[in-house]
Amino acid sequence: MAGVRETSFILLKGIFEESKGNCQEIVRSSVVSQKLGLDPELARGALVYLIGRGLVHDTREVAQLPAVFITANGIDAVENALARPGIPTQHFPAVQNIINISTFNGGAIQQGTSHSKQVVTHTVGLAGVDLQKLAVELATLRNAVLPHASTAEHFAAIGRLSEAQIAAEEKDVSKVEQALSSIGQAGRWLLSAGEKISVGLATSALRTYFGL
């Protein structure tokens, strides 16, 4: 079961999505938590946690509305946590651990989707690939798509990209393959973006492990 810090990330991400990353957009946190299926008691504790750390502001400070708006620090907290999902941040545990126990938009954000390839089936793989260059291109692709992510699958795929990038930097081929092969249907979205910004090595790897 998710604790307060895990629930806080889920709620903050929900507020981030509801507001479309706009610091001036007022959001009813109770509506967001209901959409996410959060336990009411945990959601209240999570909201107190977020307000106390300046990640959201309670609008009752400036108007008599039981609602909040996300702060610039809150947006950074979401994006930083998603960019490196295997690493705990100042405010939250590692996102990949939260993902395994949480639900967004009525469905689990997990490593891939029900349509994902969960094992690597290609024998050629990354043999002979310049892993350092691949890491740079994966980071470039991640940074390019992050501002345009709008669904649970998008954010989960970005998390897999980050995992693949870190593994490539560490020259761990098996972990790169595992991360890329679990991207799921959002791989088409990533592939399209990669082709537009000309990261050939990254798009080639995506085609291999997405089965295209």
In order of 8, 125, 135, 141, 171, the CA distances from 206 in angstroms are 32, 11, 13, 11, 17
Specify whether the backbone of 117 is left (phi greater than 0), alpha (psi in -120 to 50) or beta.
Answer: beta
Choice among 36-50, 58-72, 137-151 with the minimum mean pLDDT: 58-72
Give the DSSP letter string of 61-109.
GTSS-S-EEE-HHHHHHHHHHHHSTTS--SSSS-HHHHHTT-EETTEE-
Mean pLDDT of 53-66: 70
pLDDT of 124 over the 70 cut: no
- Domains, the chain, ordered by start: 4-96 (1.10.10.10), 131-210 (no CATH)
CA distance 181 to 185: 11
pLDDT of 41 over the 50 cut: yes
